[in-house]
């Protein structure tokens, strides 16, 4: 069953000590896949325009409860669509009190094959408008 977790190219792409393409395995591969999904704006990949996360549409949005709610929705939607190895348990987004331009998005998830519960913090930096 753990073969379902798999392995893939490391993100970002690099080489290992032997000069081969670096690989990420098991839980690390899943974490990197989640980051790749969240860091890719929808429409960025020409051959797969639906891939990615719509959270990037919020780049100029105010750092308020509405933006946080939309961010949670977009992250949950993208992960449900593109990462079948996990079950998203909870997504929460809150303004970072120390950085007003940052929305901290926390993804609590479980790896389906192992029932291993994990959390990932994704800082989403917006471009604040003129006040």
User: Could you tell me the residue ranges of all domains in the chain?
Assistant: 2-125
What local confidence, expressed as pLDDT, does residue 1 receive? 46
What local confidence, expressed as pLDDT, does residue 20 receive? 64
pTM beyond 0.85: no
What local confidence, expressed as pLDDT, does residue 10 receive? 60
What local confidence, expressed as pLDDT, does residue 24 receive? 60
CATH code at 2-125? 3.10.450.40
Which DSSP string corresponds to 50-87? T-SBGGGGGTTS-SSHHHHHHHHHHHHHHHHHH-TTEE
What local confidence, expressed as pLDDT, does residue 27 receive? 75
Closest C-alpha among 103, 77, 97, 96 to residue 88: 77
What local confidence, expressed as pLDDT, does residue 73 receive? 98
What local confidence, expressed as pLDDT, does residue 6 receive? 62
Residue ranges, the chain, pLDDT below 50: 1-2, 131
């Amino acid at each position: 069953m753990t073969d379902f977790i798999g392995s893939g190219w490391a993100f970002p792409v690099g080489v290992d000590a032997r000069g081969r393409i670096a690989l990420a395995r098991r839980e690390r591969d899943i974490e990197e896949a989640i980051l790749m999904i969240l860091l890719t704006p929808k429409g960025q990949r020409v051959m797969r325009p639906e891939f990615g996360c719509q959270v990037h549409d919020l780049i100029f949005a105010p750092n308020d409860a509405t933006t946080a709610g939309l961010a949670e929705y977009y992250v949950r939607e993208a992960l449900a669509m593109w990462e079948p190895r996990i079950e998203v348990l909870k997504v929460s987004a809150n303004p970072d009190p120390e950085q007003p331009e940052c929305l901290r998005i926390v993804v609590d998830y479980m790896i389906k094959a192992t029932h291993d519960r994990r959390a990932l913090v994704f800082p989403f930096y917006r471009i604040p408008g003129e006040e």
